[in-house]
């Protein structure tokens, strides 16, 4: 997915298009890539945000992944984790895989995210 296609998806999402379901493994891979990149930048003394392109994310995911939708769903995890709601699913090596499974299919439309429902589905996930 080119940067132009990625930006087009983000614009459509911002205009109300729901994010389609994606493969949980793609979210996990993107999550790990983003966190690894941030850690490497911090270790190298880079301060502030690190610029990543859709081509870099595409390399982190499986073939044919909808990078825009994976990115939106990965951002959802970051949002929920920053609020502290994912503490029960945090592990020494990262996040319990259930987080990625729920995030992969959770209804996603801008302005309508329900964190309580997300946590409820996590509690129900096996």
* Res. 17: pLDDT tops 60: yes
* Res. 20: pLDDT tops 70: yes
Question: What percentage of the chain exceeds 70 in pLDDT?
Answer: 91
Of the two residues 21 and 10, the one the predictor is more confident about is: 21
Q: What are the DSSP calls for 13-27, one per residue?
A: HHTTPPBPP--HHHH
Express each pLDDT in 75-125 by its tens digit: 889 989 999 999 999 988 789 999 999 999 999 888 888 889 999 999 998
Query: SS3 of 106, please?
Result: coil
Mean pLDDT of 18-44: 88
What pLDDT does 1 receive?
54
Domain ranges in the chain are 3-124
What pLDDT does 53 receive?
65
What pLDDT does 52 receive?
65
Name the pTM for this structure.
Answer: 0.85
Burial class (CB in 10 A: 0-12, 13-18, 19+), 25: middle
What pLDDT does 107 receive?
92
């Amino acid at each position: 997915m080119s940067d132009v296609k990625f930006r087009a998806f983000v614009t459509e999402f911002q205009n109300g298009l729901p994010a389609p379901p994606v493969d949980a493994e793609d979210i996990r891979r993107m999550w790990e890539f983003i966190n690894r990149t941030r850690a490497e930048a911090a270790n190298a003394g880079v301060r502030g945000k690190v610029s990543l392109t859709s081509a870099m994310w595409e390399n982190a995911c499986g073939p044919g992944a909808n990078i825009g939708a994976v990115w939106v769903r990965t951002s959802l995890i970051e949002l929920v984790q920053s609020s502290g709601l994912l503490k029960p699913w945090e592990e020494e090596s990262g996040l319990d895989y259930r987080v990625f499974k729920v995030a992969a299919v959770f209804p996603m439309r801008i302005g309508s995210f329900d964190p309580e429902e997300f946590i409820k589905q996590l509690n129900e996930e096996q």
